[in-house]
Amino acid sequence: MWRWRGNNSTPDHASTSVIDQGCELEGRLTFAGTLVLNGKFRGEIFSSDTLLVGETGQAEAEVQVGVAIVSGQVTGNISARERVELRGSARIFGDIVTPVLVLEEGVVFDGRCKMKNDEIRAMQKSS
């Protein structure tokens, strides 16, 4: 995987990456900082940081992140160490495991939710 780091050899956890509208990716994705997904992704997403799925974003993926904020569509399970926020336009088709779940009016959520910290830690260790 190619990654430009300039003169600094450590990842920038404050950085923001964007997969924009019109982009389609498939595979296993890891990132540091914040990832904004406005395009399409299929596969697996892993990070201890923040995933933002915009209104045009579509993920068909198993997601394990620190924080997930979703306005678009996710088909697959979401595991978040800190929290999951589902904005009004979000469409989720899969299970959610997180200690904090925020749902706005208008969300479509077809799945189950578990909100126990010990289950989240067990899932994070197994990956």
Angle at 102 between CA 74 and CA 49, to 5 degrees: 65
The structural domains of the chain, with segments of one domain joined by +, span 28-126
Summarize pLDDT for 70-120 with one digit per residue, the tens: 999 999 999 999 999 999 999 999 999 999 999 999 999 999 999 976 655
Summarize pLDDT for 25-63 with one digit per residue, the tens: 999 999 999 999 999 999 999 999 999 999 999 999 999
Structural tokens at position 86: 């589902």
Q: Which residues pair with 114 in a beta bridge?
A: 97
Write out the H or E segment, with its range, that includes residue 28. strand 24-30
HEC letters along 18-64: EECCCCEEEEEEECCCEEEECCEEEEEEECCCEEEECCCCEEEEEEE
Distance CA 119, CA 99 (A): 10
Distance CA 43, CA 79 (A): 15
